[in-house]
Amino acid sequence: MTYTSLLQDKRLTILLSGEIDHHSARQTMEAVTSKIDVYLPRCCVLDFGAVSFMDSSGIAIVIHTLRAMEELGGEVWLANIPPQPMKVLRAAGIEKLVRLGAERSPA
Amino acid sequence: MKQENEALIQFPSLSANEALARQIAAAFAAQMDPTLDELGDVKTAVSEAVTNAIVHAYPDRIGPVSLRLRRLPGNVLEITVKDRGCGIPDVAKAREPMFTTGGAERSGMGFTIMESFMNSFALRSVPGKGTTVRMRKKLTGRVNGE
């Protein structure tokens, strides 16, 4: 998986892509953590627009990102979530933990 | 219940086989003309069951995992994932949402997702012998299984 990211006004957007499962989760977590450590953003947006499949490993990635951002006093948004990953995230009640549906480049 | 079609595969508990298993399940289910949502549910449930076998059944070795797919009358898909690993000492605890022994990259939501995405879910585990998960889902089908 590739991890394109962009930083704008202390908002770090990480574009996730492909299939997210246990096999790829650790690598994704490490990539997200290292980007947060480098850019020290106020807000981290995980963009699911190019994710074709996600199982519960994706929930672990979101929680991992949330913890990393809480250490910085920042927040996590999830953006552009397709229906299948959304169903998995909702099964975990993720909307109680993070903000959903942020646009890729909010005004 | 009389079966209409069946596939059985066995593979070693390598994490690369998570994708293989769900793709095989999706290809089998595609014969039953599911909706896109149903196909997503099937792939997710298989991914969870197979990942459990890979992560928990064989924590320190590679062992066999089998995936059995059956098409039952009424356009019902039955999925059985079986391992011969260490078993689950406390099944009730394992099924609790957010409970995991799998470390930071697991969420503890696998069983919750299998139960909510499929119509029926049964778990049998014998410590030292292995674990079997059997799930069924009725697929809509454009012509209802014909």
**Is B13 touching A (CB cutoff 8 A)?**
no
Q: Which residues of A touch B22 (CB under 8 A)?
A: 53
B26 vs B36: CA distance, rounded Å: 10
Give me the catalytic one of B17, B52, B70, B71: B52
B75 vs A14: CA distance, rounded Å: 41
Q: How many interchain CB pairs under 8 A, A with B?
A: 79
pLDDT band of residue B143 (cuts 50, 70, 90) is low
pLDDT tens-digit series, residues B40-89: 999 999 999 999 999 999 999 999 999 999 999 999 999 999 999 999 98
Which pLDDT score, from 0 to 100, does residue B99 have? 83
CATH classification (class only), A4-100 = alpha beta
* Sheet containing A4-8, strands listed edge to edge, beginning at the edge strand earlier in sequence: A4-8, A11-20, A43-54, A75-79, A99-100
Substitution target from A1, A21, A28, A86 for chain B, most B beta carbons within 10 A: A21
Q: Is residue B17 part of a domain?
A: yes
Residue type, B140: T
- Better pLDDT: B96 or A40: A40
Average pLDDT, chain A: 91
Domain count, chain B: 1
Say which CATH number the domain at B37 has. 3.30.565.10
Which pLDDT score, from 0 to 100, does residue A1 have? 64
pLDDT band of residue A105 (cuts 50, 70, 90) is very low
Average pLDDT, chain B: 92
* B122-134: average pLDDT: 96
Which are the contacts of B101, defined by CB distance < 8 A and separation ≥ 6?
B56
The ipTM assigned to this model is 0.88
Give me the catalytic one of B18, B38, B48, B78: B48
Q: Which residues of A touch B97 (CB under 8 A)?
A: 92
Residue A16 neighbours by CB distance under 10 Å: 25
B53 backbone dihedrals φ, ψ, rounded to 5°: -60, -40
B52 is a catalytic site residue? yes
**Residue B45 belongs to what domain range?**
5-138
Q: Is the pLDDT of residue A2 over 70?
A: no
Question: Quick one: what percent of chain B has pLDDT higher than 90?
Answer: 78
Q: Which among B36, B105, B112 has the least Cβ separation from residue A60?
A: B105
pLDDT tens-digit series, residues A44-59: 999 999 999 999 999 9
Tell me which residue of B1, B79, B67 sits closest to B39, measured CA to CA. B79
